[in-house]
Amino acid sequence: MHTNGVDPREWLRSAGLRVTAPRIAVLNAVATQPHSDADAVAASVRDVLGSVSTQAVYDVLHACVRAGILRRIEPAGSAALYETRIGDNHHHLVCRGCGAVVDVDCAVGAAPCLEPSDDHGFVVDEAEVVFWGVCPICRSTER
């Protein structure tokens, strides 16, 4: 499922969540700026709605993650980041310099990394791979 480009009201309804102005604003903010942290989401929600508490934004983010319409990733050393691209098991490139995050599709075929060589009896539904490196912008300023 790829939620980009669809009305956030539909995502909320399909997840059985009540449609509210803060929820719509949060989903729009994350759709526009994927891999935003809660502070960045709160800032753009305030641009739209005026005063909204950071706690209210956290509550919306958590509800949407729980309902499966937002994905949360937590690269080591970074705040939790949110995105609307969900359920496709894509991975992330993260820059050690500036923290830039870029989506990368799963390496080959559907989702081979969902099949561990030994699953130890777990039912696996997600594999998270973070590729760490240095982005082109940081590489050019390093020189």
**Pair 137, 98: CB distance under 8 Å:** yes
Does residue 112 touch Zn ion according to CB under 5 A? no
Q: How close are the terminal C-alpha atoms of the chain, in Å?
A: 41
Does residue 138 touch Zn ion according to CB under 5 A? yes
Token pair in block for residue 13: 């309804």
Between 62 and 85, name the residue whose CB sits nearer to Zn ion: 85
Least distance to Zn ion, CB of residue 34, Å:
6
- Within 10 angstroms of residue 130's Cβ, the number of other Cβ atoms is 14
Does residue 3 touch Zn ion according to CB under 5 A? no
Helices (H) and strands (E) in the chain, counts: 5, 6
The residue within the footprint of Zn ion, chosen from 10, 103, 105, 128 (CB under 5 A), is 103
Does residue 97 touch Zn ion according to CB under 5 A? yes
Between 21 and 137, name the residue whose CB sits nearer to Zn ion: 137
- Mark the segment that binds Zn ion (CB under 5 A) among 45-53, 58-66, 99-107, 110-118: 99-107
Between 46 and 72, name the residue whose CB sits nearer to Zn ion: 72
Least distance to Zn ion, CB of residue 104, Å:
8
Positions 71 through 90 that interact with Zn ion (CB under 5 A): 83
**Pair 64, 25: CB distance under 8 Å:** no
**Pair 83, 89: CB distance under 8 Å:** no
Does residue 98 touch Zn ion according to CB under 5 A? yes
Longest CA span, the chain: 51
Helix, strand or coil, per DSSP, at residue 41: helix
Binding site for Zn ion (CB under 5 A): 83, 95, 97-98, 100, 103, 135, 138
